[in-house]
């Protein structure tokens, strides 16, 4: 089973929302089998922007962080199919377009879960279920993956 990471997981791991969120994100990533994790390219782009604008990192530092995540996990690209699916998602499910791009990318990448604190918990589309990995009770699929 594979999972995709939303931007907020990466942002927390970079330490932007305090040490508790950073520890929670890093503990989560350490517990996941590395071969099960993918990162949508949209998440990397959003991470770059957040690091640059909210964390006041330089463009070079933000680029370095982006490349580190790119090297750590396979990246799911944004294809024409993803863009069209994201537009459909945004129109029919009232998702923000860029969030829809991440969800559609996860589906195209064959992921079963999208780990996100920002999207609606339990929302399922094309076989991908959104789950908040930081919630007090974890989705059963995520829990079983973490148990190994």
Kindly report, residue by residue over 81-90, the tens digit of the pLDDT: 999 999 999 9
As for how many domains the chain has, the answer is 1
Half-sphere exposure of 90 (CA within 13 A, CB side): 13
Q: What is the pLDDT of residue 122?
A: 94
Kindly report, residue by residue over 132-142, the tens digit of the pLDDT: 999 999 999 99
Nearest CA-CA partner of 43 in 117, 138, 121, 125: 117
Tell me the pairing of strands 37-40 and 113-115.
unpaired
CATH code for the domain of 80: 3.40.50.1010
- Which helix (H) or strand (E) covers residue 40, if one does? strand 37-40
User: At 56, is the secondary structure helix, strand, or coil?
Assistant: coil
Question: Hey, which residues does 113 pair with through a beta bridge?
Answer: 3, 129
Domain that holds residue 37: 3-147
Per-residue pLDDT in tens (0 to 9) along the chain, 148 residues: 999 999 999 999 999 999 999 999 999 999 999 999 999 999 999 999 999 999 999 999 999 999 999 999 999 999 999 999 999 999 999 999 999 999 999 999 999 999 999 999 999 999 999 999 999 999 999 999 998 7
Q: What is the pLDDT of residue 75?
A: 98
């Amino acid at each position: 089973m594979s999972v995709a990471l939303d931007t907020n997981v990466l942002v927390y791991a970079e330490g932007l929302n305090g040490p508790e969120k950073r520890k929670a994100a890093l503990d989560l990533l350490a517990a996941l089998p590395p071969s099960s994790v993918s990162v949508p390219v949209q998440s990397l782009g959003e991470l770059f922007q957040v690091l640059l604008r909210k964390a006041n990192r330089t463009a070079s530092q933000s680029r370095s962080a982006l490349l580190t995540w790119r090297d750590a996990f396979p990246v799911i690209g944004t294809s024409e199919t993803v863009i069209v699916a994201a537009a459909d998602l945004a129109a029919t499910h009232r998702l923000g377009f860029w969030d829809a791009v991440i969800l559609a990318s996860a589906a195209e990448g064959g992921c079963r879960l999208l780990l996100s604190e920002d999207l609606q918990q339990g929302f399922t589309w094309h076989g991908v279920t959104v789950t908040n990995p930081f919630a007090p009770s974890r989705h059963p699929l995520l829990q079983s993956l973490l148990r190994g």
